[in-house]
Amino acid sequence: MGKGGGCIFSKKRSAIEASDQDLADPVRDAPVQNQIENSLFQEESKKLKVFIVFYSMYGHVECLAKRMKKGVDSIDGVEGFLYRVPETLPMDVLEQMRVPQKEDELPFVSVDDLVEADGLLFGFPTRFGSMASQMKAFFDSTAHLWEQQRLAGVPAGFFVSTGTQGGGQETTAWTAITQLAHHGMVYVPIGYTFGSGMFKMDSIIGGSPYGAGVYSGDGTREPSETELALAEHQGRYMAGIVRRFATPRNN
């Protein structure tokens, strides 16, 4: 075969016979092509799904969520999906609180979407040591899933935002565990799997063994690179747990 990549015809058949048989036949090859496309579609549809469902007022939790998705997506066979929960405060109140406009590209989650997930990560800011009312209102709307235990056995975890160092990096997560318990979900904390990054004392770092976290201060502090790295780690860790123990849900 030369550099041009051309074929050498067999001496036992004519050039016309060879070219007629070697040319692609769309009708003949269609079933094969369909099989290939179907196989690729099935492989894609077999990917395990981790839903990252969050409420973020000033953007801190959203920053963690986006970095968390990067961690989920880094594990072969697992894909992360970002969802917001609906706002419950009226617009005039949000304006008085100087809450920035949200990006439109991220969809709002519906309760029935949850049953499609193989793993769930819930993120929210604290309100007096427990989850914000927007996220609580979303959990309160899952009663019909609870009645049928549709989420039983699904791995789930938390990540949070607090305004102060003693404002609930741990309590905001562990007071939310009751939501998982009633649904029969499996709580997946990160422990100290992030390693030395969780033991640093030279700077303010959000997060705990319960999950990633960020300190928002008065709303103007941006997440540190360590806080974002911990969020990415949690996404990767959860994806690994889901891949190890879960099979794609068939609902």
Domain ranges of the chain: 48-245
Q: Does domain 48-245 have CATH number 3.40.50.360?
A: yes
b/e code 63-79 from CB counts within 10 Å (16+ = b): bbbbbbbebbbebeebe
Q: What are 104's two structure tokens?
A: 């439109």
Q: What is the rounded distance in angstroms from the CA atom of residue 122 to the CA atom of residue 85?
A: 10
**Residue 12 confidence class, pLDDT cut points 50, 70, 90:** very low
What pLDDT was estimated at residue 244?
Answer: 93
- Listed range (8-17, 27-36, 133-142, 238-247) with the worst mean pLDDT: 8-17
CA atoms within 13 A on the CB side of 49: 16
If you average pLDDT over residues 87-113, what whole number do you get? Answer: 87
What pLDDT was estimated at residue 10?
Answer: 40
Mean pLDDT of all residues belonging to the chain: 85
Kindly report, residue by residue over 195-218, the tens digit of the pLDDT.
988 888 888 899 999 999 999 988
Show Cβ contacts of residue 53 under 8 Å, excluding neighbours closer than 6 positions. 83, 84, 85, 109, 114, 120, 121, 122, 123, 138
